[in-house]
């Protein structure tokens, strides 16, 4: 064991990390993943900005959840008929 690890073990009786103060990390909860999945199933053309506002989550969190669910952002394009 390293010096730091043995000191931690002597002080706390364990080598596990102690709880830290501050804001807890938010994770991709099952509830949020279900909300995002249902939102995009009902309206696949919804913009990420609007969906994030409706679901009350940040856009970066929404993008991470979409990546985990293998969803891709949809951008409609008008094409000229041939």
pLDDT for the residue numbered 23: 74
Residues in the chain: 82
pLDDT in tens, 4-40: 888 888 888 888 887 778 876 666 788 888 988 888 8
- At residue 77, the pLDDT reads 76
User: How much is the pLDDT for 1?
Assistant: 59
Question: For 66-82, how does the pLDDT look when each residue is reduced to its tens digit (9 = 90+)?
Answer: 888 888 877 667 888 77
Listing DSSP states for 15-47 in one string gives -SPPPPPSPPPP---HHHHHHHHHHHHH-TT--
- pLDDT band at residue 2 under the 50/70/90 scheme: confident
């Amino acid at each position: 064991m390293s010096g730091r690890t043995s000191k931690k073990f002597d002080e706390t009786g364990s080598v596990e990390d102690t709880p830290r103060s501050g804001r807890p990390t938010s994770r991709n909860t099952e509830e949020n993943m279900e909300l995002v999945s249902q939102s995009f199933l009902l309206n696949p053309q919804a913009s990420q900005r609007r969906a994030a506002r409706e679901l009350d989550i940040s856009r970066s969190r929404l993008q991470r959840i979409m990546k985990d669910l293998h969803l891709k952002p949809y951008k409609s394009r008008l094409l000229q008929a041939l």
